Amino acid sequence: MFSQEIDSKIKKISLIVLTCVGVAFVIGFFGFHNRVTDVGYRPTQPVPFSHKIHSGVNGIKCMYCHTSVETSAHSPVPSTSTCMNCHIAVKADSPQLKLVRESNENNTPVAWKRVHYLPDYVHFDHSRHIRSQIDCASCHGKVETMGVVSQFKPMNMGFCLDCHRNPVANIIPARPISGIFTGIKATAYDSTAQAILANNIEPTTNPQFGSFMSDIPKQEVEGIPTPKHPGIGPENCSTCHH
pLDDT, tens digit, 9 for 90 and up, residues 126-142: 988 887 778 999 999 99
Cα gap 112→149, rounded to integer Å = 12
Cα gap 140→79, rounded to integer Å = 20
* pLDDT tens digits in sequence order for the chain, 242 residues long: 567 777 777 778 888 988 888 887 777 666 566 555 788 899 999 999 999 999 999 999 998 999 888 888 998 899 999 999 999 999 999 999 999 999 999 999 999 999 998 888 999 999 888 877 789 999 999 999 999 999 999 988 889 999 988 888 888 888 889 987 644 433 334 444 455 555 666 777 777 776 666 665 555 556 555 444 555 788 888 888 97
Share of the chain above pLDDT 90, in %: 38
Helix (H) or strand (E) holding 11: helix 4-32
Clarify whether residues 21 and 130 are in a common domain: no
Instruction: Please check whether residue 96 lies inside any domain of the structure.
Output: no
Range of the domain at 14: 4-32
Clarify whether residues 14 and 57 are in a common domain: no
Clarify whether residues 66 and 22 are in a common domain: no
Clarify whether residues 23 and 41 are in a common domain: no
Clarify whether residues 117 and 23 are in a common domain: no
Neighbouring CB atoms inside 10 A of 225's CB total 11
Clarify whether residues 192 and 239 are in a common domain: yes
pTM: 0.71
Clarify whether residues 129 and 229 are in a common domain: yes
Cα gap 89→71, rounded to integer Å = 31
Instruction: Please check whether residue 222 lies inside any domain of the structure.
Output: yes
Q: Count structural domains, the chain.
A: 2
Clarify whether residues 167 and 199 are in a common domain: yes
How confident is the model at residue 198, as a pLDDT? Answer: 56
Cα gap 16→22, rounded to integer Å = 10
Instruction: Please check whether residue 12 lies inside any domain of the structure.
Output: yes
Instruction: Please check whether residue 91 lies inside any domain of the structure.
Output: no
Clarify whether residues 47 and 16 are in a common domain: no
Instruction: Please check whether residue 176 lies inside any domain of the structure.
Output: yes
Instruction: Please check whether residue 37 lies inside any domain of the structure.
Output: yes
Q: Which amino acid is at 186?
A: A
How confident is the model at residue 190, as a pLDDT? Answer: 42
For residue range 206-224, what is the model confidence (pLDDT) as tens digits? 777 766 666 655 555 565 5
Clarify whether residues 28 and 39 are in a common domain: no
DSSP class of residue 134 equals B
How confident is the model at residue 194, as a pLDDT? Answer: 52
CA dihedral 191, 192, 196, 198 (to 10 degrees): 20
Instruction: Please check whether residue 104 lies inside any domain of the structure.
Output: no
DSSP assignment string, 55-98: IIIT---HHHHSTTTTT-SS-PPPPHHHHHHHHTTTTTT-GGGH
Cα gap 138→51, rounded to integer Å = 17
Clarify whether residues 28 and 119 are in a common domain: no
Q: Is residue 131 helix, strand or coil?
A: coil
Instruction: Please check whether residue 149 lies inside any domain of the structure.
Output: yes
Longest dimension (CA), the chain: 88
Clarify whether residues 125 and 28 are in a common domain: no
